[in-house]
Amino acid sequence: MKKVRHLLGISGGKDSAALAIYMQQNYPNLEIEYYTTDTGKELKETYDLIDNLENYLGKKIKRLKSYEGSNEAPFDHKLKSLMGFLPSAQNRWCTKYLKLDPFEKFVGDDLVISYVGIRGDEDREGYISRKSNIQSIFPFRKNIWSEDVMQKFLNNSNLENLMNFYSSLDLGSKKDRILEIVKTPISLDFQLSQKLNILLDLGIIAFNNAVFSFLKTTSYPLAVEEEFPLIENKDILVRDDIFKLLRESNVGVPGYYEKIDFEVNGQIGQYARSRSGCYFCFYQQKIEWIWLYEQHPDKFQQAIDYEKDGYTWIQDETLSDLIKPARITQIKEEYLKRSKRNSQPQSPYLIDILEDAEGEGCASCFI
């Protein structure tokens, strides 16, 4: 029987690092291979986090590079071949060449379970590979399965199988209610997400067992596994749990997540960086660029050095213009105003505000 590989990608950010710690603590018998796809352009704090994690896990984190045999950073190597054409949200060649391609090469044709650190309090789907030999699992979420699996599992054409999977389980006192939901077809009035949530609320473990039975009838990697310990998992981890895992394991929280005060026109605000990734990532907010300029001026200068021949990181504005004193003041003022408007009472973290405003573009770079 083909062996399934269990992989966990370390992006250098807090969530994937916490997932590695969580998996080691809860599933020490799973033989997980850890890897990171390095662009060569992260902040030092990210590389420190990866080293700390390696020490904690007692395992090597494999550094995947898009190009071996050169001392140049993978980003620079690729950039040269593209004649200095900087990546952008519209042309995100960096994600493809520096992240996805090395990952898919590393996987080859092997059957792979890829563990992804999307949290229980995030409303987004993760990367689903175009390759059918890679299956994503989300251990921090109530629903650990990927969207494509759910589309097939809960599809009306699978209703009879669904009944059979569930009927073979010990459903206890909720049996009648569960089977009633199971046999109700998806429709405009009863959408897939509703059915999914109700079934999960009625019993996560029963749901996971039914999905696992279903997977046995498919060509997904888990079809060949005799058992999968995560089907017993009922944990849901949110942001606070992530910081706790990092702190209590002594792996630590990367310094750039820590809030720093800034002053503008007599008002005090706080800024930080919202995520790992290349220091010049074009997805960062203008306030994060200002953070980079003020906290890591050497890196900011290096980002400026990439801007040549009309190529800029931000559309319609060069980094040299961005750091003119009047412009910095304006960005900080606008940011303060926006923070006050957006600030959610249930979320005191600046980082929430940054991430909410930032969107998901860069996050989907991390598989």
Question: Which residue ranges make up the site for ligand SF4 (CB under 6 A)?
Answer: 39, 87, 92, 94-95, 98-99, 277-278, 281, 283, 362, 365
Output the residue with the shortest Cβ distance to ligand SF4.
Answer: 277
Rounded to the nearest whole angstrom, what is the least distance from the CB of residue 98 to ligand SF4 in the complex? 5
- Quote the CA–CA distance of 16 and 277 in Å, as a whole number: 13
Least distance (Å) from ligand SF4 to the CB of residue 360?
11
For residue 49, what are its two tokens? 């986090």
Question: How far apart are alpha carbons 260 and 257 in whole angstroms?
Answer: 9
Residue 173: CB minimum distance to ligand SF4, A: 49
Nearer to ligand SF4, 98 or 178 (CB): 98
CA 97 to chain centre: 18
What DSSP line would sit under 133-193, residue for residue? TEEEE-TTSSS-S-HHHHHHHT-GGGHHHHHHHHHTS--GGGHHHHHHHHHSPP-SSS-HH
Chain centroid to CA 203: how far? 26
- Identify which of residues 153 and 300 has a Cβ nearer to ligand SF4 in the complex: 300
Q: In the complex with ligand SF4, which residue's Cβ is closer, 177 or 308? A: 308
Measured CA to CA, the distance from residue 29 to residue 16 in angstroms comes to: 19
Which residue, 27 or 306, is less far from ligand SF4 as judged by CB?
306
Q: How far is the CB of 24 from ligand SF4 (least distance, A)?
A: 26
Provide long-range contacts, Cβ within 8 A and 24+ apart, for 339-342: 339/269
Q: Which is nearer to ligand SF4, 78 or 332 (CB)?
A: 78
Report in angstroms how near the CB of residue 174 gets to ligand SF4 at its nearest: 44
User: Cβ 72 to ligand SF4, closest distance in Å?
Assistant: 16
Tell me whether strands 111-115 and 61-64 are parallel, antiparallel or unpaired.
unpaired
Closest contact distance (angstroms) between CB of 362 and ligand SF4 is 5
- Supply the minimum distance, in Å, between the C-beta of residue 95 and ligand SF4: 5
- Farthest CA pair distance, the chain: 69
H or E, element range at 36: strand 32-37
User: What is the bridge-based pairing of β-strands 267-271 and 260-264?
Assistant: antiparallel
* Contact in structure between 134 and 25 (CB atoms under 8 Å): no
Query: For tokens 């077809």, what's the residue?
Result: 185
Residue 87 or 269: which CB sits closer to ligand SF4?
87
Using the minimum distance from each CB to ligand SF4, give the nearer residue, 203 or 277: 277
Phi, psi of 112 (to 5 degrees): -135, 135
Of 240 and 360, nearer to ligand SF4 (C-beta) is 360
